[in-house]
Structure 1
Amino acid sequence: MLMTHTLNKEHHPTDLLYTYACHESEQALCHLELQRLLGISIPPEQAYLRSSRLIDPSRSPFIKLRLEVLAENKEFLGLLADIDSLALQVPQDCTFKVVYIKEGVPYSYDEQRKLERRAGERITGTAKMKDPDITYGLMQLENTWVLGVVRYAEPIWLQHKNKPYNYSTGLSSRMARAIVNVAAPEGDAVSIIDPCCGMGNVLIEALSMGIAIRGNDLNPLAIRGARVNLQYYGYDSRLVTLGDMNDLTGHADRAVLDLPYNLCSVLSMEEQLGMLRSLGRLADEAVIISTEPLEEQLNMSGWKIQHHLQVTKGTFIRDIWLCEH
């Protein structure tokens, strides 16, 4: 059997490995995001995940690459024989290389290069170490060896880090992207509303993933900043409106609510309950973010907590709840 590899985007593999990394302060958020995106539980202390669910690795700020498995064997020599059987052939106008994925069983630098050469010798085509057209990934898992095609993640969220306008205490683009994925793992199949959108960080991350979203805020300065930020990245500034979220109408599949906070004013219990009840009219599922405990208010306003986690940044703590109404 001759297998020719191209960069065909219509190809839909079903045996996939994802590698990821996160700081310990974001680990709970990272694990929930990946659980929602990939539909699997996340083993602790393991830097790779196996799933049949195909997602763009660039969706997550934590995923490093996706490996589309072509061959698997319990022994390395058996894997080499399987590669021979596949008769992998790279198109004449393309180049390739083989890399050892370090999130697997660790090997020294020299050992990794030796493993890469032995696998690469079985592939017909022009090898190129720098910027090849196709990268094959070689990896030893706990009880097996795999070879597959690598798709690297692009840190799209980094492009949104230096917006024209930002709150010093606002969600980072990295956290905003993860929260959008927790709220809407289905991607463009669902719609989102962000009724307290601030400078639009959540809006920009959702829009960059093709997800339909609209925003609102009570603060005219925030709306002005959000509109400038949206236009800066080429999005429609009319997606944000000025007003009280309690007066909003319509319904979305999901909501993201980052409850307003600053050093000068604190929302009363009555105000929090009003906002949470209004949120229940706007969406049936939501990710709700707060800098103070909210369990009582969520229960009183009809929200059922599915997951709760905390993200820390120094002494600043955010509570994040995934809820259904």
Structure 2
Amino acid sequence: MEMELNTQEFIYTYASSPEEQSLSHLEMRSFFGLESHHNIIKSAVKIDPSRSPFIRERIEVLYGGDTFIDIVEQVQEIDMKEKTFKIIFIKINDLKKEDKIEYGERRVMERDLGARIHGEADVHNPEHIFGIVAYGGRWYFGNYRKNEAVWLKHTKKPHEYSTALSTRVARAVANIAVPHPEGVKAIDPCCGIGTVLVEALSMGIQIEGRDINPLVTQGSRENIAHFGLTGNVTLGPIADIVEKYDVAIIDMPYNLYTHATPEDQADILRHARRISDKLVVVTIETIDEMIEKAGFEIKDRCVTKKGYFSREILVCH
């Protein structure tokens, strides 16, 4: 699926723990085709910030200038009519250390901008929020949108496995697999209790689930329904799937927790190649050779850690 390009520009800020930085960068590359070690990205690709466990906020750019004064002059044309507003200075930026702006000065700059806008400011309960940020040697001002951390609502499910992906990782994996959902048909053929399904369905991704275990397929259906979502989960092996999908997401069954042998894993990958053109696989083992034997080429990858436990996420075509 093509990225949703706009004549409009957007600025996104990111935040992640050191253990999840590699994962957040892979999500950036999937969404925007690039990553940023400053945790701030400017792009013509429009993404709802609440889709990501790592995006903090988004500015839809209205004005840009070489200096802050340029922005001050431009915002004078804004007329809020009856709406109240607030301005937020974005703390994540790529200013050099010596150019960083302290808290007090940021507040002064917010007030300076607010005084030029026609309308009533309300710092506590505004009807509209604007953002101001320094990036790439320029200043940008625009409509501000904060991440609503939707995945936090999914952390407590009726059915849970201690070995299941966290909701944060599951959500990022769904984004990496289907960054731009329109027209994309996905499947999770080893869906377990549906952690990835819940995150994907909550973002409007068209995805189906399947598993060989009747207990977990029922648990997956109940988890999906618990959050008011609708999704199809079927019972049976991946070998029985005849339909074609644009992408498959597989959290590989682990030898430690299941009876899946290396032969079983190879068989899963072989059938994934038969039913899909793209595969995002989560594994605790090195399976590069197995993936290549199945007919996939690894295009991108990352590692995400939790304590001493690490998983590798591979993007394959």
Please state whether the residue corresponding to 1:34 is helix, strand or coil. Answer: helix
- Rounded Cα–Cα distance in structure 1 between residues aligned with 2:257 and 2:167: 25
Q: 2:66 aligns with which of 60, 71, 74?
A: 74
Give the one of 124, 130, 137 matched to 1:130: 124
Contact 1:13 1:68 in 2 (8 A): no
Pairing 1:275–2:268 present: yes
Q: Deviations over 1:116-162 (max 9, x none)?
A: 01111110111100121111111222411221110111111111110
The residue identity in structure 2 corresponding to 1:282 is I
Matched, 1:179 2:197: no
The root-mean-square deviation of aligned C-alpha atoms, in Å, is 1.5
TM-score under structure 1 normalisation? Answer: 0.91
8 Å CA contact 1:259, 1:290 repeated in 2: yes
1:307 aligns with 2:297: no
Q: Following the alignment from structure 1 to structure 2, what is the Cα–Cα distance between the partners of residues 208 and 126?
A: 36
Corresponding position of 2:22: 28
CA contact (8 A) 2:244 2:276 kept: yes
Paired-residue identity, %: 39
Task: Give 1:13 deviation, angstroms.
Answer: 6.2
**CA distance in 1 between partners of 2:16 and 2:8 (Å):** 25
Cα displacement (A) at 1:96 = 0.2
TM-score (norm: length of structure 2): 0.93
Structure 2 distance, partners of 1:56, 1:264, is 36
Aligned: 1:42 with 2:29 = no
Contact 1:75/1:145, CA 8 A, preserved across alignment: yes
Query: Compared with structure 1, are the counterparts of its residues 208 and 70 closer, same or farther at alpha carbon in structure 2 (3 Å cutoff)?
Result: same
Cα separation, partners in 2 of 1:321 and 1:118, compared to 1, 3 Å? same
- The one-letter code sitting in structure 2 at the alignment partner of 1:285 is K
Match of 2:249 among 246, 249, 256: 256
| Amino acid aligned to 1:176 | A
| 8 Å contact from structure 2 (residues 80, 119) kept in 1 | yes
Classify the secondary structure of the residue corresponding to 1:52.
Answer: strand
When residues 82 and 197 of structure 1 are mapped into structure 2, their CA distance, relative to the original with a 3 A threshold, is same
**Candidates 98, 116, 119, aligned match of 2:87:** 98
Aligned to 1:233: 227
Q: Answer whether contact 1:203 1:213 (CA < 8 A) is retained.
A: yes
Q: CA deviation at 1:14?
A: 1.2
- 1:205-246 Cα shifts (integer Å, max 9, x gaps): 111111111111111221121111011112336x11111112
Q: Which amino acid aligns with 2:269?
A: L
SS at match of 1:22: coil
> Is residue 6 of structure 2 the alignment partner of residue 18 of structure 1?
no
In structure 2, stretches of 5+ residues that fail to align are 1-5
User: Pick from 69, 81, 101: which aligns with 1:107?
Assistant: 101
Q: Deviations over 1:33-72 (max 9, x none)?
A: 1111123x2132x021000111111111111111011111
CA deviation map 1:221-276 (0-9, x unaligned): 21121111011112336x11111112222111111011112535453232121111
Does the CA-based 8 Å contact 2:210-2:234 persist in structure 1?
yes
Tell me the distance in 1 between the aligned counterparts of 2:257 and 2:245.
32
| Distance (whole Å) between structure 2 residues aligned to residue 71 and residue 323 of structure 1 | 39
**What is residue 113 of structure 2 aligned with on the other side?**
119
Count of residue pairs the alignment pairs up: 307
* Equivalent position SS for 2:8: coil
The 1-side partners of 2:258 and 2:92 are apart by: 46
* Cα offsets for 1:4-26 (capped at 9, x unmatched): xxxxxxxx761110011011111
